[in-house]
Amino acid sequence: MAVGIFDSGLGGLTVWDAVSKRLPEVPFVYLGDNAHAPYGVRDADDIYDLTTASVSRLFEAGCDLVILACNTASAAALRRMQEAWVPEGKRVLGVFVPLIEALTERQWGDNSPPREVAVKNVALFATPATVASRAFQRELAFRAIGVDVEAQACGGVVDAIEEGDMILAEALVRSHVDALKRKMPHPDAAVLGCTHYPLVEDVFRDALGPGVTVYSQPTLVAASLADYLARRPEKVGAGTESMFLTTGDPKRVSSRATQFLRRQITFRPA
C-alpha cells in the first residue's frame, strides 16, 4: 500500500515529513535523484528523462501513485508524462495543485470560469527551470484573474542546501528577495515554489517582512494527499515497506538528510 515521493534531491523530504505525519498508516517510498541534482538548471527534455526513470523505479517498488515533490519536475515534465507516458492504472501528481488551491481558495475540481481572488500581487520564488516554464502562471490563469505574478529565479539556493551550506543559502535567499522587491515592492503573498525552500522558510519570512502571506508546500501537499486518498483509496499501491532510495552516495545522502530533519534517515541505493 505504498505511495511514492520523488525529488531531484533532498528538498522533497520536507513533503515526506509532512505527509508521513498526516498519514502514518501509509508506507512511503522516497527516491532522491541526488546523482543528477539540481534539476533547476537542466533543460526540459533532460528533466523529463530523469524524472520518468525515477518514477519507473518507484512503480517497481509497488507504488501506484507517485507525488513529484519537485517543482522543477512538476513544471517541466508532469504534463508531458500524464499525456503520453504514465502507464494505465498508475497516477503521477505534482505539487503545484495544492498551492494554487490555497492561493485561489478554489478546489481543483472547480471548473467554473476564472474569477478575481483576494490576492493581487504574488511573488514566486523558484528554480530557474520552474520560472522559465511559466507553469505556475499558466495553471493560476485557469482559475484566477487580476493576479500579478512576479517570478524570481533563485539560482544557487538548492545547491547550497544540498551541500549543507546554510550560511550561503541564507545569503542567497536574502539577495533573491531583495531582487524580487525591486520588481514588486509590496507583494501580498509569496509562494515558495521549491520543496527545498521550507528548510530556509524562516529566512524568506524575515526578508519579506510582515504583511506578506507565505505559502509553503509541505502541509498543503499533505492535506491534499489525505483528501485524494480518502476519495481514491485504490491508488495506494501494493508495496508494504517504507524506504529511502537515492541514485547518489547513500552514506552521504543519509548524513545530509539526518542533518536536515534532525532524526536518523537511512538511504539505500536505488
Q: Count H helices, E strands: the chain?
A: 12, 12
- Measured over the CA atoms of residue 173, residue 263, residue 34 and residue 70, the dihedral's sign is negative
Neighbours of 196 (CB within 10 A): 30
How far from the centroid of its chain's Cα atoms is residue 115's Cα?
26
Cα–Cα distance between 188 and 88 in angstroms, integer?
Answer: 41
Is-catalytic flag, 154? no
CA distances (Å), 208 to each of 39, 75, 82, 128, in order?
26, 25, 36, 20
Set 19, 69, 92, 194: catalytic member: 194
Strand partners, 93: 67
Active site residue 63: no
* Cα 66 to Cα 232: distance, rounded to the nearest angstrom: 13
Nearest to residue 162, comparing CAs of 125, 205, 204, 200?
200
- Which one from 58, 66, 70, 172 is the annotated catalytic residue? 70
The catalytic site residues sit at 70, 194
